[in-house]
Structure 1
Amino acid sequence: MGNVVVFGAGGTAGSRITAEAVARGHRVTAAVRRPEATGYLPAGVDLVTGDVTSAHSVRELAPAADVMVVAVGGDEGRALWRDAAENLVTVLRDVPNPPRIIHVGGGATLLTPRGTPYLEEPDFPEEYREPALGQADALAWYRSAADGVTWTYVSPPPLEFHPGERTGHYRTGLDEPVTDERGRAALSYEDLAVAVVDEIENPRFENMRFTAGY
């Protein structure tokens, strides 16, 4: 089994990815800014202080990692996600046998049927615009400047993405949402975690973005 570092392991997505990885026998290091404020994590997780935007943190954790998962969030503005991507790529280029990066990004960067990102829709909620733009910046950085490392960017559906049931089933796509027979794009956080750990175990989207849905 692999050694997985999860930045943002205390969050909604990160905690579920951590739990899924542990359940499958991976050795998981949960890297969070404030370990004392982190809620439940499964037994066996190594909880450490870590910041994906800190070169020191990434450099310290990288040698023992096979994969570094970015599942961070917050109200720090647009720069957080681009800073995370840029720091990881910059540091890992200089690490022997660098770990892969799996960045859990935003669904608003997916494309509408017209070929434009959902975040550019006139009715896109203003309160989500800055995080969406930050995740778009991160995706653009990986695509344009991530030579020397292996990365995967994972987008959930743009709208119907909530905590729910782990079914273990999903379908994948690339830059457009995965929809069902009714045109609905939906996924639970639990099944996003399944998709992320499946990609850890069986890489199919190296140096690409993929999305998942029912």
Structure 2
Amino acid sequence: MKKVALIGASGFIGSELTTELLNRGYEVTAIVRSADKIKNDNKNLKVVSADIFDTDKLAEVLKNNDAVISAYNPGWTNPNIYDDTLKGYHSIIEAVKKAGIKRLQAVGGAGSLLVAPGKTVVDTGVIPNEILPGVKALALVLKDQFLPEKDLDWVFFSPAGTIEPGERTGKYRLGLDTIIADDQGNSKISVQDYAKAMIDELENPKHHQQRFTIGY
């Protein structure tokens, strides 16, 4: 049985990833800020409260897992979301290395996806100002922290422009750096299908040291 550490397991996407992993029989170490956020007595689930910024302690928690999935988000209402996102991912990447784990799969953002050559979603001006700092920070994490990273076998999995509760259909498209949209220009994915695709990638890795994306 594979053992997976999941950072941010109690969040919107993280909780769905937890469900997907447990349904497939994985042993999951759920790493959260507050352990009481997860109400699940599954025998394969271990919940650990950890400070993401304490790299050494985080590395200790990650040890003995086969892979790490990060759904880390410091909180969309956090006034320091920009700085905390950059600082948090720097710590996560270093902790994964210290723990001796090679595979890191990160929940990315859609803001850095291309809508046209040389033009990203952020460049279009459609992203609301209240979430813009977090979106820009995740784009910078990809550019400055993941893309130069050569020691880890990482992936940065960007969702569609809109990710929301829905059905686990298994019918979607995958791509790399260009946003996936339908004929009407809508870019959507359910959080259930996103979680399925993330764990499919874990079980059968097809992307290495690159970003990929999903959409209907």
Same fold (TM over 0.5): yes
Aligned counterpart, 1:6: 6
Once the two structures are superposed, residues 60-88 of structure 1 have per-residue CA deviations (whole angstroms, 9 ceiling, x without a partner) of 12321111111122123202222232223
Kept after mapping to 1: 8 A contact 2:169/2:193? yes
Deviation of 1:42 (Å): 6.0
* 1:202 paired residue among 191, 201, 204: 204
Aligned counterpart, 2:42: 43
Provide the rounded CA distance (Å) in 1 between the counterparts of 2:205 and 2:198: 10
Kept after mapping to 1: 8 A contact 2:5/2:31? yes
Distance 1:16 1:123, change over 3 A: closer
Q: TM-score, normalized by length of structure 2? A: 0.90
Kept after mapping to 1: 8 A contact 2:5/2:68? yes
Q: CA RMSD in A?
A: 1.7
Stretches of structure 2 lacking an aligned partner (at least 5 in a row)? none
What amino acid maps onto 2:66 in structure 1?
Answer: D
Provide the rounded CA distance (Å) in 1 between the counterparts of 2:8 and 2:91: 15
Once the two structures are superposed, residues 93-146 of structure 1 have per-residue CA deviations (whole angstroms, 9 ceiling, x without a partner) of 3444x24111101111111124322112234311111101110121011102x2
* 1:178 paired residue among 171, 175, 180: 180
Kept after mapping to 1: 8 A contact 2:150/2:209? no
Aligned counterpart, 1:187: 189
Aligned counterpart, 1:89: 93
Once the two structures are superposed, residues 144-177 of structure 1 have per-residue CA deviations (whole angstroms, 9 ceiling, x without a partner) of 2x2211111010112x211111112221000111
Aligned residues: 210
Distance 1:54 1:136, change over 3 A: same
What amino acid maps onto 1:28 in structure 2?
Answer: V
Matched, 1:122 2:122: no
Aligned counterpart, 2:26: 26
Provide the rounded CA distance (Å) in 1 between the counterparts of 2:9 and 2:40: 8
Secondary structure of 2:169 counterpart: coil
Distance 1:117 1:65, change over 3 A: same
Provide the rounded CA distance (Å) in 1 between the counterparts of 2:54 and 2:194: 26
Matched, 1:80 2:84: yes
Kept after mapping to 1: 8 A contact 2:106/2:156? yes
Deviation of 1:179 (Å): 2.2
